[in-house]
Structure 1
């Protein structure tokens, strides 16, 4: 097997680490029971009624070793696999207890261990199943067991006294199992929720740092472009004054002057947006008018692409509160849709009492699977591969930051961006924003 075909394992898997910890606990418990077996053999010097316990020990040890070997080759395990290992603990320990005195064996309290592990690691439904299995096993061992020589003095204290003692231990176990299953499961759920929230915050910080880096780069680039644009503008004006140029050359120079003027206008808008965003200034506008303004502004710069705007909402359109980065985010989605080679782009505006949705759909090849997967993950995609990348893919000359910026803008405004491939083809990018009352 060459290096390319070898299975790739993650450097660290929490589920596998938990499984190995469980196997280590089981191995320690088995060593304890092996010590008990060795002590009985040393004291009584007889193997009578010890074969069942010895066979149970060997079988459980073989399962433990096999599970440990399997854990070294597995990439990850699910909840069902971990639950199965806990049930092996319950069933294997039940066999050991049956052949070593049943409920009279002081090691009967080991049933608490798989229960605590399940409460800390598994969802509550699995924990309740482990608790039910442990209580059932303990209850059966009160009446069905093989007497064990080491614990016969305890049994010889009297049938009534021994029964009351065993029954008291059973009630104590039942009470402990109930408390552990209920409260530990709740505490573990709270800890997992806190960990997930902290992870979301950390990823938000990373994403915001990423956006800040892009914004800093854009601001520096805009400042540096001012000088060459000014130089090209002067050269174009000088060329326009050359009497030896033909009509076609003058038309080309005039077109170049228009494009240079557009570039300077874009840089001025970028500087103005940075100042407004830094001041925290926002404006309010009806959703349909905002979308119409963005589409008209964009269509003037992409005349070769047909763009249709359709308002689906009923009644007066609600307002949205936004800064200048939101129209840029919409234009990013429009640019990405047009960059797929689509001849037509459809924009829809819809709303309800709580949200406003602006959809941008193209009739291109659809978003690649890795781009869709990236949108469903926590971290947003920074780039998209392949020539068919569209509303989530290549923007700004192939830099692949269009969706990243649009998503960050939407989240900063309290909304989100969703990407999907409709069944009838193309790609649909939907920007959803909180709605404000139309008369607010």
Structure 2
């Protein structure tokens, strides 16, 4: 469809080219007559008018959705034949205007298949050679190139050689350019298709991650409520069995959701490793979010899975807030290990960042179980989360530390 539209546009452009050519020829003939030359004949004006006939074909058939290539071949062929007949009345191939025959040949090589292009080039070359053999020198009453009366026959032979060489070169060059343009168009279409599929994949992945995140939050809440009910002294004994089943079911589903992370991040993990893996995960869910790190220390975290879920929760909330930049930094002092996560969400300056809701409670609970604390600060276009983990002793050697 795109190729047909391109050929149709070329056919419409040729109308302007033919009209401009006829206008320039007419003005040139009128100027030569005013300068005292023999002027022009009625036959020459007739051939000039005939040059516009292919435009009539274009106007009658340009809305057709079929045979655009054949119609363009026909019009370029008619342009070539009509110009050859006009050239014959102006002295034949000895006239430098004969090099205009290269124009339809070049247009054909840029827009048409190889066979059609060679057909138009063959017509132009045949017409040039016929008029070349017809006139060994310009006619005596030819008004457009009086200077060429003084040129020898060798000049015409040289012009013929140059014309043939240019015809072959432009035809081949046009075909190469056309092939490269088609390859570029195919690559662009493939890139657009790939981008569309990737965007669809991002949407699916983001939806699944959001659903899993939303499911994990009520499951964690249910686990906490069930645990509190089990330890409640005033809970009737008849309900303890049901509460225990609810707690077991919620924990089972929650463990299924966390199985992948637990398998990959079981045991102690270095902070930089967790950030790298989280960056890959967020890159699929939020391609515009730039995750950066500024680690003064790179400790080994004893419970890598829990720390990964904490960072993931903070990253998901930065992503949901429309952040484009999320920076994770770390430091260490006498009080222990400090971790800070800062993002520039939300994207709109007049919108207010909401709290993390139940997810914040779960993050706080997980940090409390590890002996860590968290402070969070919200702004219009930024959020800072500071986590501090107290340690009893500082490492005596090396740069790594289990926290």
TM-score normalized by structure 2?
Answer: 0.50
Q: Which of the pair has more CA radius of gyration?
A: 2
TM-score normalized by structure 1?
Answer: 0.46
